[in-house]
Chains A and B, each alone.
Chain A
Amino acid sequence: MDLTLKIWRQENRTAKGRFETYLVRGISPDSSFFEMLDVLNQQLVDKFEMPVCFDHDCREGICGACGLYINGRPHGPDSAVTTCQLHMRKFKDGDTITIEPWRAKPFPIIRDLVVDRTAFDKIIEAGGYISVNTGGVPDGNAIPIPKKNADVAMDAASCIGCGACVAACKNASAMLFVSAKVSQYAMLPQGKVEAKERVKKMIAEMDELGFGNCTNTGACEAECPKEISLSHIARLNRELYAAKIL
């Protein structure tokens, strides 16, 4: 496959970025999107040019490090996959592919396609944990948890914090991420102890960091590589009302 790539290049946080156009030839349709970018970077290195910076770690779709905004969609044209699990067979020979970094005020660009997602860590630090003393390893089924609740908590816990929800949202809202992190604890007895404080603090931190407000467009749910559902956002709302009013 021969492809034209339009890629956002930016030297550092403060530099004015620009789009650069590159040509890559002979890409296998079975290669991953990152393998294609590796080919491009090898070309650039061979010409003594700076390679394109992008975040990646496991390349197995489970770490949440990668994330590119490809042709107007976070993680590209495939559904329920991270960028590293996107394959070139999803594109056609001769295609022009526009690659941009996540765009949101709380996600400043560090370089090229790499953004600083410390904002998500700050939200977690605000309350996305359990600090009750749980003692030693408990007996397997000492605390009975309904299967339904365990399933919902597990679905929420599959969030890898990649930031695609923020990138997809027209308002750059982090509600899907925060709702997943609140839901995974809200459904379990160990998490209920601090549930009220958690939801209040995490939403306050999310607002403080400058994320936008959810308008229930559903773009986040459509782009989430882990298919986190909007129902978690409804639960987040319920949790906050309960914490503030009751």
Chain B
Amino acid sequence: MRTLFSSSVGKKLIMSLAGLFLITFLVVHLGINLLLFMDSTEPFNIAAHFMATNLVIKVFEIVLFGIFFLHMIYGLILSVQNMLARPVGYRKANHSQKSFFSKYMFHTAIILLIFLGLHLLDFYIKSKFLGGADTIIIDGEEYHDLATLVIERFQIGWVVIIYVIALFGLGFHLHHGFQSAFQTLGLNHPVYTPIIKFLGVLYSIVVTLGFMAIPVLIYFLK
């Protein structure tokens, strides 16, 4: 097993499994975020409270950070190796027909990494360590008022613009990443691969627009 993960294909296996985990995480994340569109801020705050305090979720939080780190480190190692594999480039840019988004996985990854830093600072670190969220009482229990924190944050125009740009990066990254993960796992089939590719495109569009709706609609409606 050790030698599997030192091979190029093994490293890609880690990338794909970690990527699929992160893809699953985004669905949960988006699901909770959409609670912000309910009439009251209560459901979102309760859900956020559950995510921050439940023991199982806490374990998953550590797993999530670990898997994200693996995805990032292995992506970096593979990308550096790829750059070293062609020390002298072509004069004429490559015109081979290929998946457009696959060309920019490294670039979108950089955008996402920077964005993630800002995003964690904005909400995760602010509410958890800096006391950025006020305390409210729901049914006699104390909750952090994260909903208000989010709504206040998205009143600022440039914050909304940064989120929208970064989410385009996410969409591009997912567009190739989703189907690529299955190919790396060895799942390629004349019938199912086109379905996987379609689901990948659908997923990346839905997730991107879903996340984008939050800052944009809050900015214009709340």
Contacts and interface: CB of A to CB of B under 8 A. Distances in A.
Interface of A: 6, 8, 19, 69, 71-74, 98, 100, 103-106, 168, 170-173, 203-204, 206-207, 210-219, 222-223, 230-231, 233-238, 240-241, 244-245
B98 A19 contact: no
Nearest to B6: A207
B82 A171 contact: yes
Contacts of B187: 234
Given A217-B99, A233-B183, A170 B87 contact: no
B103 A98 contact: no
Contact of B86 (A105, A214, A245): A105
Interface in B10-45: 10-13
B86 A218 contact: no
A240 B92 contact: no
Contact of B95 (A6, A72, A104): A72
Nearest to A233: B183
Contacts of A204: 7
B53 interface: no
Contacts of A233: 183, 188
A170 B91 CA distance: 13
A168 B96 contact: yes
A230 B183 contact: yes
B199 to A, nearest CB: 16
Nearest to A234: B188
Nearest to A229: B188
Given A219-B97, A234-B187, A234-B188, A173 B85 contact: yes
A83 to B, nearest CB: 15
Q: Could you tell me the dominant secondary structure of chain A's interface residues?
A: mixed
Nearest to B183: A216
B4 A241 contact: yes
B79 to A, nearest CB: 8
Contact of B92 (A100, A207, A237): A100
A245 B186 contact: no
Instruction: Indicate the member of B82, B85, B91 with the most A CB atoms within 10 Å.
Output: B85
A245 B81 CA distance: 25
B97 A244 contact: no
A171 B95 CA distance: 14
Given A98-B92, A105-B87, A234-B188, A240 B9 contact: yes
A216 B185 CA distance: 11
A212 B81 contact: yes
Interface in B121-135: none
Nearest to B87: A105
B1 A245 contact: yes
A212 B90 CA distance: 16
A71 to B, nearest CB: 6
Contacts of B184: 214, 216, 237
Contacts of A231: 188-190, 193
A211 B7 CA distance: 12
B92 A71 contact: yes
B107 to A, nearest CB: 12
Given A171-B82, A217-B102, A222-B97, A72 B90 contact: yes
Contacts of B88: 103
A103 B92 CA distance: 12
A170 B103 contact: yes
Contacts of B221: none
B195 to A, nearest CB: 15
Contacts of B13: 237, 241
Contacts of A19: 91
Contacts of B93: 72
B54 interface: no
A105 B83 CA distance: 10
B89 interface: yes
A173 B81 CA distance: 10
Given A100-B90, A172-B86, A203-B8, 17 more contacts: A6-B91, A72-B94, A73-B94, A73-B95, A100-B91, A172-B82, A203-B7, A207-B7, A211-B85, A213-B8, A215-B82, A218-B98, A218-B102, A234-B187, A234-B188, A237-B184, A241-B186
Contacts of B176: 216
Contacts of B4: 240-241, 244-245
Contacts of A74: 96
